[in-house]
Structure 1
């Protein structure tokens, strides 16, 4: 009898150890997937800057979201999505597209790594916006993050010219827009799946970029077969942005966030501007001074403070 009890106890211990190892590995793979997503998005900022040398930002992003939306269109076709969700999803996509376009415009006058750090302030603006919408007093950590991030922006930029002011304006506009998109996605994501929401937002962003392209008059160049005059590198950048930075990254993000906590995911997403700075140094040879590094660290610090559990609204 004792031997049977002993064998049962050993079996339970082995099962517990196996479960613990399984949970640990799930956490590791989940965290790695989120870090990979931040690296993909970090490099996409550099790709956008490279592509802008030969492709107008609006057309580059038009192709990105257009192709991404077409790839996900079959998924949307079979989905049972309400009209309200369609309208809200497309609206969020328009906000997303305009925000990333603003980020692209900022890169024309501000170094890409600086733009990435400033745009990352959406991590601070999002809980601040939620507090305003919910008519709650913002947590003390949010106030600390706002002050710290503003100090970081001033140190990062250093001096102000007309071009820099314009780029900073577009970067901050992108951060505010991304905050609005994240808040909307948070609520709409409770009713439809991540992959369906991604498809709707990609289509909405493509619609927004189409309007911008028409308004700017760039569409005439496209109709003149300018698309087919792109070289292999141009098409590779478009393919990377559409397939890797949009479809693959969103899949990895959705999968990874099921393996780790929301707080851990928020902290991991703070790596995106760091990756951008690293890739900008390697690919574009854009370095940072000591003062700029201190400014970047202030911004990362503000993102970390607001991502901690006690600041969650």
Structure 2
């Protein structure tokens, strides 16, 4: 593992920490602001927070060769695709948080860790047998965490589960695009796309309240500046040199930080069944990534 990979992994761990506590901020925000309004504002704030960095970057790169038309198209299309995946994942997550706890939402969302290598099959990526073992553990864990005695699943947990697919897609899209386009500009474009789509839905179906927004400055600012502007941008830069499997396993730590935040700040508690479910899911997340590490070691030996 070279210094660039180490730096990337550190950035991704910081990202996981910020995202974990963001589940608390998002849940508190729902007490004052409806889901799509909250996301529209926080992703707009995230985009605005990047403008000073983009202006600075433009000055530093002034005089360099201009991008080709093809490169600009790739950037714009990439921002639209990444932003759309982000919108779907963030929307399902925020709506679902109204019906479940921050800790449970984070662990279920974390299923994208297991889904990333599975979806990679469609990109002709080899799936290690430990991935299937990991997915099995995760599914059993999800059962203990979310399915009650009547064999029904909580509405909020179901929305988080569906959203996990879109988070997995987002991880793969970002991994592909960071090798081809400017990471900072890509972050800005995906935030703007997500904010616009969220605003359209908010105007169509929600009652946008300025008073409600004024009552939730801390959740909105944390969700916008920290969770979006800082963390999602760190994700883009972090994934630039980190292997997808390594990135996924590090970011799975957000579930742990969310649980800690939920217990400390929201007084959330899990029963024994819930702890068992979380333990199995976390084990599944880890196992699903073992193949990625094994393959990397094989590649290293082959190159030696």
Do these two structures clear the TM 0.5 threshold for a shared fold by scoring above it?
yes
* Native 8 Å contact 1:109 1:163 kept in 2: no
The equivalences for 1:49-64 within 5 A come to: 49-64=27-42
- Who is 2:259 aligned against? 277
Alpha-carbon distance change, 311 to 132 in structure 1, aligned in 2, over 3 angstroms: farther
The equivalences for 1:215-294 within 5 A come to: 215-216=204-205, 218=206, 221-222=207-208, 226-228=209-211, 230-231=213-214, 234-253=216-235, 264-294=246-276
Shift of 1:169: 2.3
- Who is 1:126 aligned against? 116
The equivalences for 1:2-21 within 5 A come to: none
Tell me how far apart the structure 2 counterparts of residues 261 and 179 of structure 1 sit (CA, whole Å). Answer: 15
- Who is 1:200 aligned against? 189
Shift of 1:42: 0.5
Shift of 1:111: 1.8
* Native 8 Å contact 1:141 1:311 kept in 2: no
* Native 8 Å contact 1:156 1:295 kept in 2: yes
Shift of 1:175: 0.3
Q: Find 1:88's aligned residue among 74, 78, 83.
A: 78
Structure 2 counterpart SS, 1:286: coil
Shift of 1:250: 3.5
Structure 1 counterpart SS, 2:31: coil
Q: 1:230-282 CA distances to partner (integer Å, 9 max, x unpaired)?
A: 445x1121111111111222344455567876655433222110111110011
Alpha-carbon distance change, 73 to 190 in structure 1, aligned in 2, over 3 angstroms: same
* Native 8 Å contact 2:93 2:105 kept in 1: yes
Alpha-carbon distance change, 289 to 48 in structure 1, aligned in 2, over 3 angstroms: same
- Who is 2:156 aligned against? 167
Tell me how far apart the structure 2 counterparts of residues 210 and 132 of structure 1 sit (CA, whole Å). Answer: 32
Q: 1:55-84 CA distances to partner (integer Å, 9 max, x unpaired)?
A: 001011000111222333562895845123
Which deviates more from structure 2 when the two are superposed, residues 245-254 or residues 53-62?
245-254
* Native 8 Å contact 2:175 2:239 kept in 1: no
- Who is 1:304 aligned against? 286
TM-score calculated relative to the size of structure 2: 0.82
Tell me how far apart the structure 1 counterparts of residues 241 and 287 of structure 2 sit (CA, whole Å). Answer: 22
Instruction: Look at both structures and tell me which one has the larger radius of gyration over its CA atoms.
Output: 1
* Native 8 Å contact 2:141 2:277 kept in 1: yes
* Native 8 Å contact 2:89 2:164 kept in 1: yes
* Structure 2 portions without partners, runs of 5+: 59-65, 300-304
TM-score calculated relative to the size of structure 1: 0.80
Alpha-carbon distance change, 160 to 175 in structure 1, aligned in 2, over 3 angstroms: farther
* Native 8 Å contact 1:131 1:138 kept in 2: yes
Q: Find 2:17's aligned residue among 39, 46, 50.
A: 39
- Who is 2:62 aligned against? none
Shift of 1:176: 0.4
| Number of equivalences | 282
Structure 1 counterpart SS, 2:100: coil
- Who is 2:302 aligned against? none
Tell me how far apart the structure 1 counterparts of residues 19 and 113 of structure 2 sit (CA, whole Å). Answer: 15
Alpha-carbon distance change, 181 to 31 in structure 1, aligned in 2, over 3 angstroms: closer
